[in-house]
């Protein structure tokens, strides 16, 4: 989508601190980090949220999680623990309507989230 901020990052029309890229997936640092490590992992193709994913996107969705696994190792938060979050809808806190998985780590986290 032309006006989607994350599509603009995919197209390199907007700057981001990219930490991983392959044919299908892009990961970059959140501009307002909520933890010492806070990455966003997105499909390069625009999908508005998990609700917009199709059954045929199973492999793509799996790639997002495997990217989170690999990045957690690389960022050194695997042993101490990390959280992955995908907000769907404004009521859940979604503000950017391009599917993304948050990877948060490097500090203690409470449960349940507020």
**Residues annotated as catalytic (active site), given as ranges:** 100
- Which tokens belong to 110? 């409470």
**Cβ(84)–Cβ(65) under 8 Å?**
yes
- 93 contacts ligand 5GP (rule: CB under 6 A): yes
CB of 48 to ligand 5GP, least distance (A): 11
12 to 31: interface string for ligand 5GP, x by CB under 6 A: --x-x-----------xxxx
Ramachandran angles phi, psi of 102, nearest 5°: -80, 135
User: Which of Zn ion, ligand 5GP, none does residue 46 bind (CB under 5 to 8 Å by kind)?
Assistant: Zn ion
According to CB under 5 A, which residues from 35 to 54 bind Zn ion? Answer: 46
Is position 87 an interface residue for ligand 5GP (rule: CB under 6 A)?
Answer: yes
Contact 24, 67 (CB under 8 A): no
For position 7 contacting Zn ion by CB under 5 A, the verdict is yes
Query: Integer distance in angstroms from the first to the last C-alpha of the chain?
Result: 31
Q: How big is the CA angle at 11 (ends 48 and 14), to the nearest 5 degrees?
A: 90
Using CB under 6 A as the binding criterion, the count of chain residues that bind ligand 5GP stands at 14
């Amino acid at each position: 989508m032309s006006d989607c901020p994350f599509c603009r990052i995919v197209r390199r029309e907007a700057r981001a601190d990219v930490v991983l890229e392959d044919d299908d997936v892009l990961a970059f640092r959140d501009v307002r980090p909520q933890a010492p490590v806070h990455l966003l992992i997105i499909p390069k193709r625009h999908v508005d949220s998990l609700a917009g994913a199709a059954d045929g996107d199973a492999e793509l969705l799996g790639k997002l999680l495997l990217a989170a696994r690999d990045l957690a190792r690389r960022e050194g938060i695997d042993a101490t623990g990390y959280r992955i979050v995908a907000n769907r809808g404004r009521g859940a806190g979604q503000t950017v309507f391009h599917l993304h998985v948050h990877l948060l780590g490097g500090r203690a986290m409470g449960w349940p989230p507020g």
